[in-house]
Structure 1
């Protein structure tokens, strides 16, 4: 059972990270096209900056950041201070990892819940971005996908920490 959950967590985190990377690449392309378009304005060629590029960048960056959170947490790549880790007993280190994972799960749940409520609020008021008139709730919805993935991965990381405390291996041979 654990090996299936581990595989699911790996696939989910990887897919979300790849989607976040694709969004960032899309933002890069749009930004380059907009800058090139601005350069052609004085030449009166007809190209110009992309209207609402700032709005698109803002929404895309938020969605990408939330898409990267599950992969970062699964790989235990968050910033941490390992000042005392070398002199700390292994059991204490594993206990602190468990407490950290429980805390991250709580943060993921609260953050995702607040993101969901914000999306509902923006949708109910039909709020749009200033320039491109993109419905703001769509940015929240895109970020919510990564937030839900973060909750699922954080829950899996708690299970992984409990297994480590029990002395079981991280991966079960299949």
Structure 2
């Protein structure tokens, strides 16, 4: 089961990384186009090569229309896509100043409670995101500039949120079994040597 969940988490993280890389490329191209467009409209280019400037402006050299809408939707998906791997590898930030002095049993109890709370929150997020996606689908809302249906972004994020919730519930179950049996089922380096 752990192999399946780890594979699912890694696959989502890879897809999230690809999406994030494409968004970075889109943003860079849009910024470069915006700067080039400003230079083409500038007095220097208009004086040196007005025909070239007008031609480049006419063919569409400039910022990418609606880039922020795509970035907004893509980053939301990427965040949810990275959550499963972060959850299964205990990659969340933690402050251990106080808990380092606790006994192993108390630490395991706290890890169990933390994982269960994370799982509950991830399930709640997925449920609410599903309700939001359904609402956007039913009312036909579109983005302002590109006019793509908003539910597409909600739907993509929902898929990643469902995977995050599944991994969260799995890790909650693993940490619960670990607490009650005293055995480590999923080693993540957080708990010291036995």
Deviations 1:42-70 (A, max 9, x none): 23413221110010000000000010111
Q: In structure 2, how many angstroms separate the alpha carbons of the residues matched to 1:20 and 1:117?
A: 23
What does 1:48-63 align with in structure 2 at a 5 Å threshold? 48-63=62-77
Equivalenced residue count is: 168
Paired residues of 2:174 and 2:186 also in contact (CA < 8 A)? no
Change in 2 beyond 3 A, CA 1:171/1:93: closer
Q: Say whether 1:12 aligns with 2:8.
A: yes
Q: In structure 1, how many angstroms separate the alpha carbons of the residues matched to 2:182 and 2:15?
A: 35
Q: Say whether 1:120 aligns with 2:128.
A: no
RMSD, aligned α-carbons: 1.4
TM-score by length of 2: 0.82
Higher relative contact order at CA 8 Å, sep ≥6: structure 1 or structure 2? 1
Which residue is 1:96 aligned to? Answer: 110
Offset of residue 25 of structure 1:
0.4
Deviates more, 1:88-97 or 1:39-48: 39-48
- Matched residue of 1:116: which SS? helix
What does 1:6-155 align with in structure 2 at a 5 Å threshold? 6-41=2-37, 42=40, 43-44=53-54, 45=56, 46=59, 47-155=61-169
Larger radius of gyration: 2
TM-score by length of 1: 0.91
- Matched residue of 2:77: which SS? helix
Any gaps of 5 or more consecutive residues in structure 2?
41-52, 188-194
Any gaps of 5 or more consecutive residues in structure 1?
none
